[in-house]
Every structure is written in C-alpha cells, then in structure tokens.
Structure 1
Amino acid sequence: MSQILVIGGDRLGNIVNLLQDRGFREVHHVTGRKSSQTSVKIPAGTDLILVLTDFVNHNLAKTVKCQAKERELPILFCKRSCAAIEKVLVTPA
C-alpha cells in the first residue's frame, strides 16, 4: 500500500511515522473537526482510509464511509493513538 487518508485529529504527530513504517509512502490528512465540514475529496490512488473516531465530526465520518463503500476502499475506525492504530492495521477486518 502506498497512500492512506486519515480523517480526524488536529495533528497527527508520531502517527505519520507509524504509518510510513507500515509502508504508506503518502499520508493525506483531513482534520474533520469543524461541524460545518461534511464532505471530503478522497485523493486518487488512496489505498486505505483511517478514521480517528475521537476527533472527527460524525456527519463527515458517515459521508466518508459511504464514499469508501462506493469506491470499494477499505476503511478502518479507531481512536487517535499509535497503539490503537497499530492494532487495527494488524487485525483483519
């Protein structure tokens, strides 16, 4: 995998390093915290979408979930921590 879209969280910090260590060359990030933000354009070539559930607008999460389903993209949901992200990346859906 080479591209991941992360939805949620103001800053990613060490999460970027974790994702790069797991093989993602490009990490795209949308904060998704504003209540007025209800849509996002999924970049072409995205291999996986990761939604940080504790730092995201619920309407945006729902919209992204529908877009991922339409494009048949895998989507993972977890809290904003390296341990939680590592767990969902390792655990099969």
Structure 2
Amino acid sequence: MSVMLVGADHLGGIEKNLQMMGISSIDHITGRNVGDRKKFKFPLSTALIVVFIDYINHTTAKNIKNMAKSQGVPLIFANRSWSSLQDKLVAFNLRELG
C-alpha cells in the first residue's frame, strides 16, 4: 500500500512505524513550498493521505482535502506524533485498504 504524508519537515520514527504496519511505499511532502499550496499532486497508486495538522496551513489543508475528495482517496488528519497517527489509523481501520 502507498501512503502520502503531508506536513512536517522531519518524520522521526513515523516512517519506520508505518513500514512495520505493512505500508510498502511512503511519499512525503512538507507543504512548505508555494506550489504545494495550490497544486497538490500525488501518485495514482496512493491509497491514503495523511495530513499533519500542526505543520500545515489552512489553505494547503483545504486544497489537499478537495483533491483527495475529487480523486476518491481517503484522508486522515492527525498530529505529528506516532500515538496520534496510530489512533487515527486504527479508527480508520487501515487493514481494509491493504
């Protein structure tokens, strides 16, 4: 499964933890570039988008939400901490995507 992470400059151990959950491909963009705010692109193989809400502005988050909705890609908003993300993934039932 492929996951796109948006926000945060550094992921810390999140990437490793996602791989241990069986996620094979992880793409990450910081969302700091002006181009990321208006034209958000993600690979067609993306099964889930995770937005770290404490590291992204409202305009970028809104654009990502609209793009994900139009493409039919599930979206999760979480804080940039493994415990927050893990709780959201469990609530989302990650296994249904795999």
Q: TM-score, normalised by structure 2?
A: 0.86
Which residue of 2 is the match for residue 83 of structure 1? 83
CA–CA distance in structure 2, aligned partners of residues 57 and 91 of structure 1: 24
Which residue of 2 is the match for residue 25 of structure 1? 24
Identity of aligned residues (%): 35
Listed one character per residue, the Cα deviations across residues 51-84 of structure 1 (whole Å, up to 9, x for unaligned) are 0000012211111100110111100001000000
Moved over 6 A (4+): none
Q: Quote the RMSD (CA, aligned, Å).
A: 1.4
CA–CA distance in structure 2, aligned partners of residues 75 and 22 of structure 1: 18
Matched, 1:63 2:63: yes
Unpaired runs of at least 5, structure 1? none
Matched, 1:51 2:35: no
CA–CA distance in structure 1, aligned partners of residues 92 and 60 of structure 2: 24
CA–CA distance in structure 2, aligned partners of residues 65 and 22 of structure 1: 24
Unpaired runs of at least 5, structure 2? 94-98
More helix by share: 2
- Equivalent residue pairs, number: 91
